[in-house]
Structure 1
Amino acid sequence: MSDHALVIGGTRFIGRHTVSELLDAGYEVTIFNRGTHGNPFDDTDAVAHVAGDRTNESDLRRASLRIDPDVIIDCIAYKPRDVHAATEIFNDVDAYVYVSSGAAYGEERIPKREDETPLQSCSVEEATDDTDSSYGPRKAEGDRAVFAAADRGVNAMAVRPPIVYGPHDYTERFAYWVDRVDTCDRIIVPGDGSDLWHLAYVNDVAHALRLVAERGTAGEAYNVGDGHAPVLREWIDLIAAGCDTDVEPVFASDRELGTVGLSTDAFPLYRGYPHLLETAKLRELGWEPTPHERTVPETVAEHRRSDRTGREHGPEREVETRLIGVLETIA
């Protein structure tokens, strides 16, 4: 009989790919969510669905009575109490894996290592907050909830991805750059294009979640990220190759961006200090990242089929065009 995996979430992005990863590995899969988003697995009997709100402990307990999963992959635990509840309700599963984040780290180190780099602190107010500023602290406190569960005998583990990209990415941060490269001849790139923000391909994250569930150690966290961490101007080249097009990057300093009311922070995937995760610990479990020669074309192909542009996550094209004109005048 196949192992049964319960994916909390499971229909949008990381969860969607995780369900496919588990199915390909021979698992029986059930997804648990409110059903407010379209279910890409509606047309198959291979994936069962239990409706409920994961923030409601009663819903989660009812789900635990309906199914008896071997593995829990928790994709939508955004507050520490979510992790505490899940690890208490499903305390006897073979594996509970929490999707944490590279944002959980509390110090700028290059690279950030699971067992060395301190985590963010999390106040009582932050633990129940819903704003972006508390995201990292909440994820860090979720990690500590995993560690506490492991101390109680729960086989609980965490996986920490940085920003994730790939097909069906509803966050659209990577989509902004795909759209610009795919539709424009010249684009503004903040700074000199050398900023580094380690990313992770969504299928690699899904594979990491399964491997950690099968081979990970209770109470441990595992970073996941691309094998090579391109700087932004390299991403532009990779995307151009994936789009089979040419694009001219026009680099602009903060001072130059300021002439049209912009700053480097106005652009997605810009980061003043490098964000790089060490992934050796995950590799020891047998995980390997997918080359960019595959990840970027696959991302571009799905992007073109979708109606996502990512334009709301960066400067308006009219402002960008105006800045290019200003820089041409200066030159």
Structure 2
Amino acid sequence: MGMRLLVLGGTHFLGRHVGTAALDRGHEVASFTRGVSGEPPAGVRALHGDRDDPTALPAALDGWAPDLAVDTSCQTRVAARNAAAVLSGVRGYAFVSSLNAYANWPPGPIGPEDGEPTWETDDDGYGPVKAYAEREIRAAVPGRFLTARAGLIVGPDDRVDRLGWWLRRIARGGRVVVPAEGWHQPIAAVDVRDLAGWLVEMAERGVPGAVNATGPAGMTTLGGLLDLCREVTGGDAEWVPVPEADLLAAGVEPWLHLPLWLPAEVAGTAWDVDTTRARELGLPSRPLERTVADTWAWLQGVEELPPPPHDLPRPGLPADLEAALLAGHDQGP
């Protein structure tokens, strides 16, 4: 039987896919956003307001009482308090947190959820805010609050564009800078569609607790992912491995200029995250080649990507930096 489901967020990437998944499961769906990043999927009721304004959500709901909530957009402590005040009566609340909520990640590793400390500081860093929001909303929705500590989320509609940058660069072909030591670093990711559908199900069931919501540890390597990108795009890219010391000396920023690459001292543990509970609760993990292929198909229909959300910098290796690195290194993995 369908219920009323509110998506906090809902106009791009994860929030958008949550809205679609909820519609597919027969729910009456509304999204609550600032109204500046486009419209939600067709069939989703668009509600607008600023989450930091305590009057905005009650005014937008205007008597429409949700049974379920999936929160994809909490960025401030005030937003968490406001959501807790208004949505304490829902049957299930699925909150999208982050592995950054853990006080020791990175570098990790991360074991079972209940044995790992989360941030308790008062600063407004990304991780401390997520950890605070978990505590605040959990107290308001006891026994019905799930926090999904997400890692790398990939798939169609991704405006953050880390996987997308690699796909476009590899499709152009030619010599491509790759991190030499990072080639074999493990990577784990979750497809945005798998995570979205699972979040809706968790809210429906009122499942409580914390879950490391990412792909299985060791599901692939950075090199394996890039090989897959080359296969999917049909490009003729030739890998040019550059030693980590040379990358850092040239000013290459890990994770930003070469998306998904982490220095060796961090990569060995950062991707080692226990996902036993996620697997027990049925978080799917579709084949990575399907995710990469679907992301590439989506990108080919996009004329120009909007800026990344939350003022994140656009990822990718600047052309002048790439040219300098290629000039000094031979090809071959």
When residues 91 and 276 of structure 1 are mapped into structure 2, their CA distance, relative to the original with a 3 A threshold, is: same
Q: Within 5 A, what are the aligned runs for 1:274-293?
A: 274-293=270-289
C-alpha offsets along residues 142-181 of structure 1, whole Å, 9 cap, x if unaligned? 222233234xx46222111112111111111222211211
Partner of 1:36: 36
Q: Within 5 A, what are the aligned runs for 1:89-168?
A: 89-107=86-104, 108-123=107-122, 126-127=123-124, 134-150=125-141, 153=142, 155-168=144-157
2:159 corresponds to which of 170, 175, 179? 170
1:235 corresponds to which of 211, 225, 238? 225
Partner of 1:267: 258
Task: Report SS of the residue matched to 1:103.
Answer: helix
Partner of 1:130: none
| Contiguous gaps of at least 5 residues in structure 1 | 128-133
1:215 pairs with 2:212 = no
Partner of 1:53: 50
CA distance in 2, matches of 1:267, 1:301: 22
Partner of 2:318: 316
Partner AA of 1:59 in structure 2: A
Task: Report SS of the residue matched to 1:160.
Answer: strand
Kept in 2, the 8 Å contact 1:34–1:52? The answer is yes
C-alpha offsets along residues 113-165 of structure 1, whole Å, 9 cap, x if unaligned? 31122213322xx23xxxxxx11121122222233234xx4622211111211
CA distance in 2, matches of 1:27, 1:14: 17
Tell me how far 1:317 sits from its aligned partner: 2.5
Partner AA of 1:140 in structure 2: A
Task: Report SS of the residue matched to 2:30.
Answer: strand
CA distance in 1, matches of 2:254, 2:95: 32
Kept in 1, the 8 Å contact 2:70–2:93? The answer is yes
Partner of 1:201: 191
Task: Report SS of the residue matched to 1:66.
Answer: coil
Partner of 2:69: 72
Moved more, 167-176 or 269-278: 269-278
Task: Report SS of the residue matched to 2:241.
Answer: strand
When residues 215 and 282 of structure 1 are mapped into structure 2, their CA distance, relative to the original with a 3 A threshold, is: farther
Tell me how far 1:87 sits from its aligned partner: 2.0
Kept in 2, the 8 Å contact 1:166–1:202? The answer is yes
1:224 pairs with 2:213 = yes
What TM-score, normalized to structure 1?
Answer: 0.87
CA distance in 2, matches of 1:88, 1:80: 13
Moved more, 63-72 or 8-17: 63-72
Q: Within 5 A, what are the aligned runs for 1:76-87?
A: 76-87=73-84
When residues 54 and 264 of structure 1 are mapped into structure 2, their CA distance, relative to the original with a 3 A threshold, is: closer
Partner of 1:297: 293
CA distance in 2, matches of 1:52, 1:258: 43
Tell me how far 1:315 sits from its aligned partner: 2.0
Partner AA of 1:245 in structure 2: G
CA distance in 1, matches of 2:180, 2:133: 35
When residues 263 and 34 of structure 1 are mapped into structure 2, their CA distance, relative to the original with a 3 A threshold, is: closer
Task: Report SS of the residue matched to 1:69.
Answer: coil
Partner AA of 1:10 in structure 2: G
CA distance in 1, matches of 2:296, 2:69: 31
- Calculate the aligned-residue CA RMSD, in Å: 2.4
Tell me how far 1:247 sits from its aligned partner: 2.2
CA distance in 2, matches of 1:251, 1:47: 46
Task: Report SS of the residue matched to 2:330.
Answer: helix
Partner of 1:181: 170
Kept in 2, the 8 Å contact 1:102–1:277? The answer is no
When residues 239 and 328 of structure 1 are mapped into structure 2, their CA distance, relative to the original with a 3 A threshold, is: closer
2:247 corresponds to which of 251, 254, 257? 257
C-alpha offsets along residues 217-259 of structure 1, whole Å, 9 cap, x if unaligned? 33x1112222453221111012112213342221112332256
